[in-house]
Amino acid sequence: MLLVVGFSHHLHNIKTFTLRKNNMTATNLSFKNKLVDHLTKNWKAYVFYLVVLFSTVLFIYALGFSTAWARTEVLGKTYKETQPIFDLTKQINDAIASLAAIGLISAVLNIMVGTHSRKKYFWTNYVLLGILIVSTLATGIYIFVGSEILKSEFTNSFDVFESRWAYLIQLSFQGRDIRPGIIESLSNSLPYMLVGLIASGLSVWLLIDERLKRPMHLAREAEVQSILEKVEKGEIKVSEKVMNQVPSVDDEIIDFTEKEVLEYETLEFGVFHKKHQTSIMIAHVWAVIVTSLIFISFIGSIVIDFLNRYQIIDFNTESIVSLHPSLISFLSILLLLAGFFNLSAIKAIEKIKTDSIPRNTLLGYAIYLIPTTLISGILLLPVALKLPRSKVELAKMRYQNNQFGFTMTFGSMLFFIWSLFTSINYSLFTGLAEEVRVKPDHNIALDITISIVLILVMFLSAEKVKAYSKQWSYGLFVISVVNLLRLFYVPLISLNTNQIPMDIFIQIAICHIISAALTTIAGIVSLKKATKIQQALKQGGK
């Protein structure tokens, strides 16, 4: 697809004049008009950020849901007749925590696939938005209904087993009656149900808006495609090779992939591949072997644990590797993620043969394959460095977002949330006095507050580096430092006071290291890109 300056008059048919008009009159607008114009264009993003905020509130509430009653579970472990209420309580607590976690994760994934900014949704947007709607609605309703059920059960238990409770209070709490606090905490669930309903309602609003406007966007997309077909057929004269000059369905710029550009620039396909065929072939085969072993080990672990559960075999994954079950689950997830990323890297290697892989993309995969496969990464790195740079790389940056920095920052945030959840919510749930669990105190409260602020800052950073902000690229380095420093606060305190075992501390440390590494890499790449594009704009006088 080659586009031209010469057919700019055709672009007026697809409303390019509105873009030029907006640029010319922007400086003459008052602050009020600018604000209204900004909100009109970006209202979906702000609405979705509210949904993310509400999902975060629900998640934080879910983490602290058991705070009031968990300390009394020793009563259920001591007296058989009081055990059912604590079994019910734990069941409701686990359900709320799971629903809230699904809601927050789906909110983050929605931002990663552009639900907050796209005018035309793809199937991934519909699926993730649907999960978000259901999970936030279910979380809000279940918080209220579950709390009302538990309030009734606890009230009844206080009456029926009054002597048991009095003994527990005297023994464990030195006579300080905690029963009113339990009832009060369960009575304050209505605001959180409203938060869940509002978050779900706002998500439904975004979905309905997209469905109502979809026919208009599809019609515009068809019009743009018609122009492109005329260019290819020669009905519109090509006078100069230019890229990114036709507005897309989103009134933005159509982003032609570097693959399409490389196809026009390359006279003979496969020449570069033939020069480095041996290295590429070995890197490809070894990556396939390692990736296969990753998936085999993951599936094998599941099969072994399944057979052990039904007593077909007398060993499991935990007995083989001698690690904590939680750490095994965490490492399994990392292994699975590595497997899927390896599949993407394998596809990238295969594209070298057709000269359809951009240099920066191949270089990124080569660096990634060093820790995951070693040999493939080492062999692929010099090949990637020799791959010619795209002639339109800098021009494309003017019209494309910094998706790499955006994605890496969000990936970092997911690992940070995982470490936060693990470090403040760990418990063996034995109910015994010597139970190993994280006990809520002022350090936990301060840690949660700081973490919420950091998560929100990471959201903002992702959006800013997406637009090549040099200042926020530096900000990612600060986030990396804060991320690592947190490891020496609550997690280390919990380890030193025997509130978490060493295996869990290792899991938390791995999460923080990966999170900090991702924001550091995102900062380096984003800073480099921001510097390039700023220099180019200065040289061009724009």
Percent residues over pLDDT 70 in the chain: 80
Instruction: Let me know whether 334 and 384 are in one domain.
Output: yes
**Most confident listed range (102-116, 218-232, 391-405):** 102-116
For residue 261, is pLDDT > 50?
no
Whole-number pLDDT of residue 67? 66
Asked whether residue 266 is assigned to any structural domain, the reply reads: no
Asked whether residue 79 is assigned to any structural domain, the reply reads: yes
Query: What phi, psi does 389 have (nearest 5°)?
Result: -75, 150
483 token code pair? 């991320």
Instruction: Write the DSSP symbol of residue 60.
Output: H
Which of residues 250 and 322 earns the better pLDDT score?
322
Which of residues 133 and 237 earns the better pLDDT score?
133
Which of residues 17 and 469 earns the better pLDDT score?
469
Ranking 48-52, 187-191, 322-326 by mean pLDDT, the lowest is 322-326
For residue 239, is pLDDT > 50?
no
Whole-number pLDDT of residue 21? 39
Whole-number pLDDT of residue 196? 92
Asked whether residue 265 is assigned to any structural domain, the reply reads: no
Asked whether residue 375 is assigned to any structural domain, the reply reads: yes
Reported as a pLDDT band with limits 50, 70 and 90, residue 264 is very low
Which of residues 361 and 5 earns the better pLDDT score?
361
Per the structure, the count of domains in the chain is: 3
Whole-number pLDDT of residue 133? 94
Instruction: Let me know whether 412 and 318 are in one domain.
Output: no
The Cα–Cα gap between 483 and 465 comes to 18
Whole-number pLDDT of residue 266? 42
pTM above 0.75, yes or no: no
Whole-number pLDDT of residue 116? 83
pLDDT tens, 510-528?
A: 999 999 999 999 999 999 9
279 contacts 380 by C-beta, under 8 angstroms: yes
Instruction: Let me know whether 317 and 443 are in one domain.
Output: no
The Cα–Cα gap between 541 and 534 comes to 10
DSSP string, 457-524: HHHHHHHHHHTT-HHHHHHHHHHHHHHHHHTTTHHHHHHHTTSS-HHHHHHHHHHHHHHHHHHHHHHH
For residue 342, is pLDDT > 60?
yes
Q: What SS3 class is residue 13?
A: helix
Averaged over 404-421, what is the pLDDT?
88
Asked whether residue 73 is assigned to any structural domain, the reply reads: yes
Asked whether residue 262 is assigned to any structural domain, the reply reads: no
The Cα–Cα gap between 518 and 410 comes to 9
The Cα–Cα gap between 145 and 288 comes to 50
Whole-number pLDDT of residue 175? 65
210 contacts 121 by C-beta, under 8 angstroms: yes
Q: How high does pLDDT run on average in the chain?
A: 79
For residue 77, is pLDDT > 80?
no
Whole-number pLDDT of residue 231? 63
The domain boundary, picked from 326, 359, 390, lies at 390
Asked whether residue 97 is assigned to any structural domain, the reply reads: yes
Between the alpha carbon of residue 273 and those of residues 17, 84, 280, the distances in Å are: 44, 67, 8
Instruction: Let me know whether 350 and 452 are in one domain.
Output: no
The Cα–Cα gap between 312 and 302 comes to 14
Whole-number pLDDT of residue 427? 63
β-bridge partners, 437: 427
Q: What SS3 class is residue 313?
A: coil
The H or E element that residue 363 is part of is helix 359-373
Instruction: Let me know whether 340 and 429 are in one domain.
Output: no
Whole-number pLDDT of residue 208? 92
The residues, ordered by sequence, that sit 6+ positions from 480 with a Cβ below 8 Å of its Cβ are 516, 517, 519, 520, 523
Instruction: Let me know whether 123 and 156 are in one domain.
Output: yes
Instruction: Let me know whether 141 and 159 are in one domain.
Output: yes
For residue 218, is pLDDT > 50?
yes
Percent residues over pLDDT 90 in the chain: 21
The Cα–Cα gap between 439 and 182 comes to 17
Tell me the residue range of the domain where 335 lies: 271-390
Instruction: Let me know whether 75 and 4 are in one domain.
Output: yes
Ranking 95-109, 209-223, 264-278, 487-501 by mean pLDDT, the lowest is 264-278
For residue 267, is pLDDT > 70?
no
* Share in percent of the chain as helix, strand, coil (round to 5): 75, 0, 20
Whole-number pLDDT of residue 442? 83
Instruction: Let me know whether 18 and 102 are in one domain.
Output: yes
The Cα–Cα gap between 228 and 55 comes to 42
The H or E element that residue 144 is part of is helix 123-160
Asked whether residue 317 is assigned to any structural domain, the reply reads: yes
The domain boundary, picked from 390, 415, 435, lies at 390
Burial class (CB in 10 A: 0-12, 13-18, 19+), 126: middle
Instruction: Let me know whether 198 and 336 are in one domain.
Output: no
Instruction: Write the DSSP symbol of residue 426.
Output: -
The domain boundary, picked from 224, 255, 286, lies at 255
Instruction: Write the DSSP symbol of residue 427.
Output: B
Residue type (1 letter), 302: I
179-187 helix and 123-160 helix, angle to the nearest 10 degrees: 150
Reported as a pLDDT band with limits 50, 70 and 90, residue 141 is very high
Instruction: Let me know whether 231 and 145 are in one domain.
Output: yes
pLDDT tens, 362-410?
A: 888 998 899 999 999 999 999 988 888 766 666 667 667 888 888 899 8
For residue 293, is pLDDT > 90?
yes
Instruction: Let me know whether 115 and 226 are in one domain.
Output: yes
* Nearest Cα to Cα of residue 183 among 151, 148, 144: 151
Whole-number pLDDT of residue 474? 94
Ranking 144-158, 216-230, 301-315 by mean pLDDT, the lowest is 216-230
Whole-number pLDDT of residue 197? 94
